[in-house]
Amino acid sequence: MWMQRAAALAGLALWSTGAWAQSIPVTPIPKATGRSNIEQRYVYAPPDKGEFDVPLLHGGAAANEVIIETPLMCSPNAKASVHVSYDKSKNKVVFEAEFKKALPYRMSYTRPDDPSTPYNQHLQSVSNGKWQLWFVGQMLSFETTFYYDGTTLQLLGNALDFPAGPPAGAIPVSIPTLQMLCSPIFEGKPNGDAKVKFTYRYDQLLDDLGNGGTYAAFLPYNLCKPDEYGVWYLNGGLPPSKAMNWDQVLDSIWQGYGLAFSSSLEPDPKPAFLASRDNLMIGWGGAYPQTIPDGMGADPISGLLFNKTTCGTHIAPKFPPAYFNVCGP
């Protein structure tokens, strides 16, 4: 076991220092710009000023999240979307979300298990819930540093969790990261209609608490099982200095990562441990410029599309257990 662990640590060190990458000649892929060489224009999300619509569908969520699909939402008459507009000269970004016979009113739900992890506390139940709109402006388009214990290989946290520096002997690993931002809490009418508008600064997108949103990542909790993933969120929110600006969001779109919106069922008021992050109960959601066709869903693990044949509230499958254990049999 010691030899296996030593090999794993050595391999990880090579990977983290880029030694493997440096030993293999690689032709870099040109960075996407979002501009069409054929049409000579930005096909998606022009710079500085523009607008676009993001259709929302139900049935999409990450692993182990509650997928909310009530009879109201499952009706063919239910529609939801977000209109996005932005203007750099006015330093303004606006999200206008509209739900037509689509937004459950003061819904309650209790899941059979507690989805909390050693890193994040989550809710098991919501009563008479309201909603928040979640904007994911950087979809794994950048990396942040996470630290793992050098002996146990257990996840310790993100670099932002250790402002005084990493723990002694910790292993740094760069992991693709999401940056997301929450709207103020809202609700619609008892008939399912709602129309809300949220305005942000172009140069600094702050959430309803004045924070820069939060970071989230899907990662192994222990490097002994590198293919067994879980979700991690930064607790307490990002400082305003880490907030996204809309130019970064546009760059993420042009590079092919896109952006996403989703609605989460929330208690009102929210507990302090959920500051600047969402409850894992997801209603409507959608992405741009990539969209899922109406009547189809996406597997939360593989990302593959499938034809939807059922509609009802359920919990998305968990990430599968690890196949590899590099620390032992």
pLDDT digits (tens, 9 = 90+) for 148-166: 999 999 999 999 999 999 9
103 inside domain:
yes
- What pLDDT is attached to residue 242? 97
33 inside domain:
no
Beta strand 314-315 with 35-36: parallel, antiparallel or unpaired? unpaired
Specify the pTM.
Answer: 0.87
**Cα distance between residue 308 and residue 260, in whole Å:** 21
* Radius of gyration from C-alpha coordinates of the chain: 21
Beta strand 125-126 with 155-158: parallel, antiparallel or unpaired? unpaired
The domain tally of the chain equals 1
**Cα distance between residue 116 and residue 271, in whole Å:** 14
Domain that holds residue 223: 49-112+127-315
Judge whether residue 54 has pLDDT over 80: yes
182 inside domain:
yes
More confident residue, 311 or 43: 311
Please count the other Cβ atoms lying within 10 Å of the Cβ belonging to residue 328.
9
57 inside domain:
yes
More confident residue, 142 or 44: 142
Segment 191-200, tens digit of pLDDT: 999 999 999 9
178 inside domain:
yes
Select the highest-mean-pLDDT range: 19-23, 40-44, 205-209: 205-209
207 inside domain:
yes
Classify residue 168 by burial, with Cβ atoms within 10 Å: 0-12, 13-18, 19+: exposed
- What pLDDT is attached to residue 296? 84
23 inside domain:
no
- What pLDDT is attached to residue 29? 59
pLDDT > 70 in the chain, percent? 90
189 inside domain:
yes
CA dist 143 to 153, 187, 242, Å?
Answer: 20, 34, 14
Judge whether residue 8 has pLDDT over 80: no
Please count the other Cβ atoms lying within 10 Å of the Cβ belonging to residue 15.
13
